[in-house]
Amino acid sequence: MSYVASIHIYPVKSLDGIAVSQATILASGALEGDRSFAICDAAGEFINTKRNSGIHFLHFSFDIKKRIAGLKIKDTEQEFFFHVDRERPEIEYWLSSYFGFSVQLIENLLTGFPDDTAAPGPTIVSTQTIAETASWFPRVCVNEMRHRLRANIEIGDVPAFWEDQLFPEADEIVRFKIGTVIFEGIKPRQPCLLSTRNSATTEAYPNLKNVLIAKYKEIMPDLAKDGGLNHLSRLIVNTRVPREAAGKTVRIGDEVQILRVTKSLFNAIPD
């Protein structure tokens, strides 16, 4: 039986995630607490791995109940703790000093800051996909690959690349159910895997994209022939969730069921 094996939320966009046993669906379809904060510069641009390599060397922890954030430069001993509400200026000062320019820590409790605003639901991947992909790269462990992919929900008891069946061809929409919540699989997402640097060290993997494409051509030759690899990576599925699911909870252990493929979108979900 396919089931939810783990759930991760990423409180600050582009920083470390935390494992949780359950997560509540917001009206937007996102998971509560996921990407609810973001670091931006004076121009309002997000600070992420593509724009600033310094992100790779920050370690982030978060106590959800106490709303205490921990920040630490990797390979150093001292960790600095801040209350994200009462000590926001202190966090921003610390981060500005670290990056070398002024930044702000902004928050959106209603929708968070999803990578895909048209499909802001939780991202899906199977645990076996993470393990299989990690095996393609020397010195990359499963946890490192998990950090690179940064998916919200992992599905267990299914083979690698099982999630491929959750996103559609052309205008099709795959509807599936996790526990009591209905989801729509929308499209594959290009994940943080495309970063060529090991998140835990300074080691780089300059041929990472080429390895991914070659492996997919080896494993899925028909997909490559049909042009289905133009995303470079099909490892993660973006989703949408109907508004009526707001307030429902997804939990570890919830059964996952694929319902059907349809041509129509949820009418209640705006484009």
* pLDDT at 245 (0 to 100): 95
Residue-wise pLDDT tens digits, 81-129: 999 999 999 999 999 999 999 999 999 999 999 988 888 999 999 999 9
Instruction: Name the residue with tokens 């430069």.
Output: 73
Residue-wise pLDDT tens digits, 131-146: 988 888 888 889 988 9
Residue 173: CB partners within 8 Å, gap ≥ 6?
A: 184, 185, 186, 261, 262, 263, 264, 265
First to last CA, the chain: 33
Taking 70 as the threshold, does the pLDDT of residue 206 lie above it?
Answer: no
Taking 50 as the threshold, does the pLDDT of residue 29 lie above it?
Answer: yes
**How far is residue 2's CA from residue 4's CA, in Å, rounded to a whole number?**
7
**How far is residue 83's CA from residue 86's CA, in Å, rounded to a whole number?**
6
All domains in the chain, ordered by first residue: 3-31+115-262 (2.40.33), 37-107 (no CATH)
Residue-wise pLDDT tens digits, 136-183: 888 888 998 898 889 999 999 999 889 988 887 767 788 999 999 999
Residue ranges in 37-193 assigned as alpha helix (H): 88-99, 127-134, 142-149
Taking 60 as the threshold, does the pLDDT of residue 203 lie above it?
Answer: no
Rounded to the nearest integer, the mean pLDDT of the chain is 85
pLDDT band at residue 43 using 50, 70 and 90 as cut-offs:
very high
- Give the pTM: 0.85
* pLDDT at 171 (0 to 100): 73
More confident residue, 133 or 72: 72
Least confident of 62-71, 136-145, 192-201, 237-246: 192-201
Report the percentage of the chain scoring pLDDT > 90.
Answer: 59
Residue-wise pLDDT tens digits, 229-261: 444 456 789 999 999 999 999 999 999 999 988
Measured over the CA atoms of residue 162, residue 246, residue 105 and residue 84, the dihedral's sign is negative
Measure the CA dihedral 80/84/90/94, to 10°: 50
**How far is residue 55's CA from residue 57's CA, in Å, rounded to a whole number?**
5
* pLDDT at 207 (0 to 100): 63
How does DSSP assign 7-28, residue by residue? EEE-SBTTS--EEESEEEBPTT
CA angle 33, 148, 235 (to 5 degrees): 95
Q: What is the DSSP letter of 184?
A: E
Whether the CB-CB separation of 16 and 160 falls below 8 Å is answered with no
